């Protein structure tokens, strides 16, 4: 199935399951807008469906749990990707703060954390949720692998074959800044990301050092070397 076709299928599923997924659908002249965390709760399943669309169906999106150092069990997002480069491209924001899978006349499946009230010519189908929502927390967790892929590409590593990530989801608060800080802490200290590549060791080391993440590892397939910060 083509990437756009999978994204379009996932968006249609979101429309059909909006009620069950605690979402609201609003038809617009230039496409459909889905509220996944502004005036409605949104939740786990809408985020999973969107991630399946952004990855083109080339992988697995699942939820698991992680035990923290204090013994507490918390939920985590887990990704297995067969095309991490393609998924990373889907996470690149445009000038309006939207990312996703584009078609010829706008987004087949777009995502933003900006409200519809700020819409200025958004074209296509867009899922939106506030920065303090569960949906946005899951999307930001998924974006961490995209950031690692982009770091490798900036250093000239172009053959990136597979990816895996496990990111604990920080507890949300009413304070947006506090929630942001908690998510950053999870990203830096507790998120595990592995990418399997073919590339120069020096370039891989530079990419890893450029990321503020303690558990980012790259497995180089020609030399069978694993690179990380420890």
For residue 150, count other CB atoms closer than 10 A to its CB: 18
Q: Is 185 helix (H, G, I), strand (E, B) or coil?
A: helix
Q: What is the pLDDT of residues 137-146, one digit of tens each?
A: 999 999 999 9
CA dihedral in degrees (97, 122, 174, 50; nearest 10)?
-80
Candidate from 51-60, 65-74, 156-165 with smallest mean pLDDT? 65-74
Of 12-16, 65-69, 154-158, the one with minimum mean pLDDT is 65-69
Q: Report pTM.
A: 0.95
Q: Per-residue pLDDT averaged across 104-123, rounded? A: 88
Residue 94: Cβ within 10 Å count: 13
51: confidence class by pLDDT, cuts 50, 70, 90: very high
Q: Are the C-beta atoms of 86 and 3 separated by less than 8 Å?
A: yes
Looking at the chain, list the stretches that DSSP marks H as alpha helix, in order from N- to C-terminal side.
Answer: 3-16, 44-54, 84-90, 134-154, 176-189, 201-209
| The predicted structure's pLDDT at residue 85 | 98
Mean pLDDT of 44-64: 97
**Number of structural domains found in the chain:** 1
Give the other-Cβ count within 10 Å of 60's Cβ. Answer: 14
Q: What is the pLDDT of residue 119?
A: 77
pLDDT value at residue 229: 85
What is the extent of the structural domain holding 119? 3-227
CA dihedral sign, ordered 27, 33, 39, 42: positive
Q: Which residues neighbour 5 within 8 Å (Cβ) at sequence distance 6 or greater?
A: none
Per the structure block, which two tokens stand in for 158?
A: 């172009």
**H-run or E-run covering 74:** strand 73-81
Q: The domain spanning residue 113 has which CATH number?
A: 3.30.1030.10
Structure-token match 């982009």, residue found: 150
Tokens coding 157: 């590593």
**pLDDT given for residue 83 in this prediction:** 98
Mean pLDDT (whole number) for 117-146: 93
Tokens standing for residue 119: 């819409």
pLDDT at 174 over 80: yes
Q: Are 205 and 157 in contact (CB under 8 A)?
A: no
- If pLDDT is split at 50, 70 and 90, which confidence band does 1 have? low
Dist. CA 50–CA 101, nearest whole Å: 10
pLDDT for position 183: 95
């Amino acid at each position: 199935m083509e990437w756009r076709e999978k994204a379009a299928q996932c968006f249609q599923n979101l429309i059909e399951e909006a009620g069950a997924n605690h979402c609201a659908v609003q038809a617009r002249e230039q496409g459909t807008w889905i509220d996944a965390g502004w005036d409605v709760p949104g939740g786990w399943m809408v985020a999973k469906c969107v991630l399946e669309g952004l990855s083109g169906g080339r992988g697995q999106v699942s939820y698991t749990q992680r035990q923290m150092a204090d013994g507490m069990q918390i939920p985590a997002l887990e990704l297995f990707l067969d095309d991490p480069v393609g998924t990373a491209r889907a996470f690149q924001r445009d000038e309006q703060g939207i990312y996703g899978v584009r078609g010829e006349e706008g987004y087949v499946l777009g995502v933003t954390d900006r409200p519809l009230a700020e819409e200025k010519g958004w074209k296509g189908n867009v899922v939106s949720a506030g920065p303090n929502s569960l949906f946005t927390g899951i999307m930001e967790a998924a974006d961490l692998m995209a950031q690692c892929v982009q770091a490798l590409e900036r250093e000239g590593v172009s053959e990136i074959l597979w990816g895996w990530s496990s990111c604990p989801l920080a507890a949300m608060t009413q304070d947006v800044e506090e929630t942001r800080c908690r998510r950053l802490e999870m990203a830096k200290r507790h998120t595990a990301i592995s990418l399997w590549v073919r590339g120069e060791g020096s370039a891989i080391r530079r990419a890893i050092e450029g990321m503020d993440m303690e558990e980012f590892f790259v497995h180089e397939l020609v030399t069978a070397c694993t690179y990380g910060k420890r």
